[in-house]
Structure 1
């Protein structure tokens, strides 16, 4: 299949879907497509059906009877029948659906499948039967694709003892565009501006087109006005997007608690104890809430680089972090039109410390994990983390933003590099000296580190001339400015 010209990237996803729907076997097959909301799953699957003449059905929140009526109407329209089909139950509907591929392999997409399964919990079992020996008697080469944004539900479809376990030949997750792809998608040439936009809206494709109608900041000087007219404006969809993201997740019933957890993280409380303290609760009371937020893809738990039993939590969707750090505390004023500019002006300190600072640290780890060359890191990386390094002699501890791990020739884990990332500071000799001291402490405490462990300095605001001169003469010192972050290795 030829990928539509208007589709940005998604080459891997299109290739996998093409392989799935073009499989020449005569038996029916199952694929599962998931991903966070607004990532373009519907656009992708609708394009597959258009390219192949397949059947696409988008479910809605409805009763079983209503859903069957909607399904029958859509199916009759696809088959060119003048009268909607009427099915007594889903058993009858699925049995008929498995017979429509009369001319060869035919994709059948059921989008928002969790809506159907919520009203009809037995539906996965009916599909399992249709895919089994009894259901294959029709010899229909249906390529059934179940799609949904409820990540916890979609993940459970193929897990454990679920009816569809072992039935799928495709399990595709449509990811958010990473920061480099997001820059290209937004068409922003200036990496400094691309970083600012990414810190607010991330790489969700819908925010570039549908939610802002193609409004892109004209330059750095237009970034603030762009935020006030698109994100802090109560007349625009991005204004309430963070609230809707939580409300749309069926697993998140106590919405106030989950907003509280996200606010705690956005305000710098990244450990379970810190989150509990912010909310005035016991840390043991938050286990379920944190697990559910992980399951739906709103937060991620990052293990500490130096303590396997410790971890920190990070918000994965920038618009959620921006909302809880900047918008939620100012919600009363923001709901009154005309106050957005005032709120934005007085929120600059919070924006730099709570949004831009953590975002730059995250991008630094992303760069080290996926884009940095082995020559830069001193070897092939296996994982990248952050961590807190204890310093018993000084009775203190030190946060390290980037810790890059690899393996030596004998297969033992080694620390290839450590790094520090700053947004607003011009990086100078003092920052390098701090990393050098941490490397010395690390060598004394951890046999995975060596005196040759690389030192990475990430500076969104640039570097002082003296430090640049030092780095030119030392292979163990690597400076990463915004241009290198976005374009180099």
Structure 2
């Protein structure tokens, strides 16, 4: 099991071990090998109901074998949380687990043992089962925990107002552990959010301060500790560099020198690397974690105000940036997530992919961004089942937005894609004008989704084919 900090891994694993009558042990950062073995021995002794002195100064192999044997006898599970901390001083641990597994399979060791290893250092966890690593081919499950989606986060925080929930999700993402770090109650209105943000993510005295949290998350992975280049790449992406060429331009580095660090950041979950489904050679790189994005776009530019206790002023000065560069893109991502996981599958048709794309207007010599597209691509030609736009603006969407989608549909058809059965979708933070709703219902090929529907507290305003 793997996943970034604050995602709830330890909470789930402790509960699992307790429910299954298992043994849970968590490694500790910067703990020496002798202290680590003694602490594991103490946990094993407690689990077995014996005195810790009876374990003696056992080796790693002996300790692991004993833990697996004891939990197997009780049909429990042996959980090692934050394994990368132990691997820092004892890199042989995966090999020892391999040895014990292979002996069990050959009938020489404990039968029926179940082991879960977990960690937050994604680069380390990703490599455990790769290539020629010891545990490759020996894991029954490789589980990566992801943050809560918008609707689940709103329920977890108890935020009833959709607009406020969207903004909190755009700032923090869906990591459930942030709820307990907040020093004030969750905001329930936009006005309360304007007080909540300066008192939490923009207050250096608070555990939820974005600067401390971003540094903490990046420091978690040993590959990136103290690496100025990795931090600079993340900052460049947060500021709009969405391709290796653009990153290299901002950092004045050749593209070739950035391939490995960008791949490492992507594999560790700090960056997201997508390719445009209609233009496979067009990479789209974004910052994966909202709080790191918030830190780079809001906290860093306002550092002087933040560090001198003027967080409220820093937030007010950052409002335009927040809306344009954080809230807008986040709303688009939430619309795509909703279509993938929560919407009626019929809205996606035969589409196997939901993404964003661009389409060229050959006559106008222009590129048009499409926020949401659902398609199935074969032999260079795509069958497109949905074309959509997601707008996090304060104005209600109008018939003009639908006209633009019609134009995009025609442009896609001119490029040879099948749009004959495509649904036109509008996702709006502030809802829709009445004439647009009426037109959508008469046409029968339009989907209108407001913020309440994205949060699961309501149905789409208009569904294709409904009267």
Instruction: Give the structure-2-normalised TM-score.
Output: 0.91
1:248 equivalent in structure 2: 220
Distance 2:60 2:347 in 1: 57
Q: Verify: 1:324 aligned to 2:296, yes or no.
A: yes
- Deviation for aligned residue 1:481: 1.2
Q: Residues 468 and 56 (structure 1 numbering): CA distance in 2 closer, same or farther, change over 3 Å? A: same
Q: Deviations over 1:159-179 (max 9, x none)?
A: 222111122223222221111
Q: Verify: 1:187 aligned to 2:158, yes or no.
A: yes
Q: Verify: 1:82 aligned to 2:82, yes or no.
A: no
- Deviation for aligned residue 1:214: 6.7
Q: Verify: 1:41 aligned to 2:9, yes or no.
A: yes
Q: Deviations over 1:315-356 (max 9, x none)?
A: 22111111111011112321222x000000110100001100
1:52 equivalent in structure 2: 20
> Which blocks of at least 5 consecutive residues in structure 1 are unaligned?
1-32
1:13 equivalent in structure 2: none
Q: Which residue of the other structure, out of 398, 419, 423, is the alignment partner of 1:450?
A: 419
Q: Is the 2:184–2:196 contact (alpha carbons within 8 Å) kept by the matching residues of 1?
A: no
Runs (4 or more) in structure 1 with deviation over 6 Å come to none
Q: Deviations over 1:25-73 (max 9, x none)?
A: xxxxxxxx11121111111111122223321111112232222122222
- Deviation for aligned residue 1:102: 6.5
1:232 equivalent in structure 2: 202
1:222 equivalent in structure 2: 192
Q: Deviations over 1:195-216 (max 9, x none)?
A: 111111111010112x115721
Distance 2:437 2:68 in 1: 65
2:237 equivalent in structure 1: 265
Q: Which residue of the other structure, out of 89, 103, 117, is the alignment partner of 1:146?
A: 117
2:465 equivalent in structure 1: none
Q: Is the 1:305–1:388 contact (alpha carbons within 8 Å) kept by the matching residues of 2?
A: no
Distance 2:377 2:250 in 1: 39
1:300 equivalent in structure 2: 272
> Once structures 1 and 2 are overlaid, which stretch shifts more, 413-422 or 62-71?
62-71
> Which blocks of at least 5 consecutive residues in structure 2 are unaligned?
461-467
Q: Is the 1:298–1:316 contact (alpha carbons within 8 Å) kept by the matching residues of 2?
A: yes
Distance 2:157 2:353 in 1: 29
Task: Within 5 Å, give how 1:411-430 maps onto structure 2.
Answer: 413-424=382-393, 425-430=395-400
1:205 equivalent in structure 2: 176
Distance 2:343 2:64 in 1: 49
Figure out how many residues of one structure are paired with residues of the other and give that number.
Answer: 451
Q: Verify: 1:365 aligned to 2:341, yes or no.
A: no
- Deviation for aligned residue 1:268: 2.2
Distance 1:429 1:102 in 2: 64
- Deviation for aligned residue 1:432: 1.8
Q: Secondary structure at the match of 1:56?
A: strand
Distance 2:408 2:141 in 1: 46
Distance 1:95 1:418 in 2: 56
2:83 equivalent in structure 1: 113
Instruction: Give the structure-1-normalised TM-score.
Output: 0.87
1:470 equivalent in structure 2: 439
Q: Is the 1:260–1:279 contact (alpha carbons within 8 Å) kept by the matching residues of 2?
A: yes
Q: Secondary structure at the match of 2:386?
A: strand
Q: Is the 2:332–2:371 contact (alpha carbons within 8 Å) kept by the matching residues of 1?
A: yes
- Deviation for aligned residue 1:229: 0.8
2:463 equivalent in structure 1: none
- Deviation for aligned residue 1:456: 1.1
Q: Which residue of the other structure, out of 142, 149, 159, is the alignment partner of 2:130?
A: 159
- Deviation for aligned residue 1:83: 3.1
Distance 2:49 2:347 in 1: 60
Q: Residues 231 and 136 (structure 1 numbering): CA distance in 2 closer, same or farther, change over 3 Å? A: farther
Q: Secondary structure at the match of 1:105?
A: coil
Task: Within 5 Å, give how 1:127-138 maps onto structure 2.
Answer: 127-133=97-103, 136-138=107-109
Q: Secondary structure at the match of 2:108?
A: helix
Q: Is the 1:387–1:399 contact (alpha carbons within 8 Å) kept by the matching residues of 2?
A: yes
Q: Secondary structure at the match of 1:228?
A: helix
Q: Verify: 1:384 aligned to 2:354, yes or no.
A: yes
